[in-house]
Structure 1
Amino acid sequence: MTGYVAVAEIDIDAPAARVWDVLTSADQLKKLWFGAEVETDWKVGSPITWTGDWEGKPYQDKGEILEVEPGRLLKLTHFSPLTGQADRPENYHTLTYTLTGDTHLKLEQDNNASEDEAKHSQEMWEMLVAKVKQAAEA
């Protein structure tokens, strides 16, 4: 991992398989990702896209699936043109979702340029993991 790392963690009262379903189901992802349509086949090397509107502006984020261990680990890259940065490898973040024990979810995002950027990302990811918990426990 490079740069400053944003980390969001939460304990979820649901089996890892249920949490995995929330993390990879198109319907659930739309709720988690602020209404964006998430498209991928969840295979290593495959593209992933997030298509939606943010504050009235249409966007499409993109990335690649790096690792998949159902019920345990999901690792992917993520780039958003909304950052204003150029679409270059050094401007991509790696998102790593890890499920352990009696379902502890940890989400890490690397390649933040500063502590402030990491803190901002962490606040967003804390909202996302809270939504995963809510959906998995429902």
Structure 2
Amino acid sequence: MTGFVAVAEIDIDAPAARVWDVLTSPDELKQLWFGADVETDWQVGSPITWTGEWEGKPYQDKGEVLAVEPERLLRLTHFSPLTGQPDVPENYHTLTYTLTGDTHLKLEQDNNKTEQEAKHSQGMWEMLVAKVKEAAES
């Protein structure tokens, strides 16, 4: 992982299979990703897009699926044009979801340029993992 890393983690009272379903189901993802439609086939090397509206502006984030180990690991890249940065590899983040033990979910996002940027991202990811917990336990 590069740059400053944002980390959010949570224990979930649900089987790993249920948490995995929440992390990969288009309907569940729409709730997690602030209403965005997430499209991918979850195959390594495949594109992934998030299409939605943020503060009245339409957007489409994009990335690539890097690793898939069902019920254990999901790794993908993510770039958002909303950052205002150029769409070049050095401006992509890597998101790594890891499921371990009695369903402990850890989400890491690398390539934050500053500690402040990592803290901001961490706050967003803490909301996301809390939504995963809520969805998986319901």
Q: Shared fold by TM > 0.5? A: yes
Residue 99 of structure 2 aligns with which residue? Answer: 99
> Aligned residue for 2:135?
135
Secondary structure of 1:35's aligned partner = coil
Q: What are structure 2's unaligned runs of at least 5 residues?
A: none
Instruction: Give the count of matched residue pairs.
Output: 138
Q: Does 1:33 align with 2:33?
A: yes
* Alpha-carbon distance between aligned partners in 1 of 2:39 and 2:9, rounded to the nearest angstrom: 25
Q: Secondary structure at the match of 2:14?
A: coil
| Correspondences of 1:1-138 after superposition (within 5 Å) | 1-138=1-138
Q: C-alpha distance in 2, partners of 1:39/1:18?
A: 20
Q: Look up the SS of the partner of 1:122 in the other structure.
A: helix
Matched AA of 1:74: L
Deviation at 1:86, TM superposition (A): 0.1
Offset from partner CA, 1:44-72 (integer Å, 9 cap, x none): 00000000000000000000000000000
Look up the SS of the partner of 2:68 in the other structure. Answer: strand
CA distance in 2, matches of 1:104, 1:121: 20
The CA distance in 2 between the partners of 1:17 and 1:100, in whole Å, is: 12
Q: Which amino acid aligns with 1:37?
A: D
Q: Distance in 1 between matches of 2:26 and 2:77?
A: 18
Task: Please give the secondary structure, in 1, of the residue aligned with 2:59.
Answer: strand
SS of structure 1 residue aligned to 2:7: strand
What TM-score does the superposition give when structure 2 sets the normalisation length?
Answer: 1.00
With the length of structure 1 as denominator, give the TM-score of the two structures: 1.00
Deviation, 1:33, is 0.2
User: Any stretches of 5+ residues in structure 1 without a counterpart?
Assistant: none
Matched residue type, 1:71: E
Equivalent residue of 1:21, what SS? helix
CA apart distance, 1:30: 0.2
Identity within the alignment, % = 86
CA deviation vs aligned residue, 1:86-126 (integer Å, no higher than 9, x gap) = 00000000000000000000000000000000000000000
Question: Structure 2: how far apart are the matches of 1:135 and 1:61?
Answer: 23
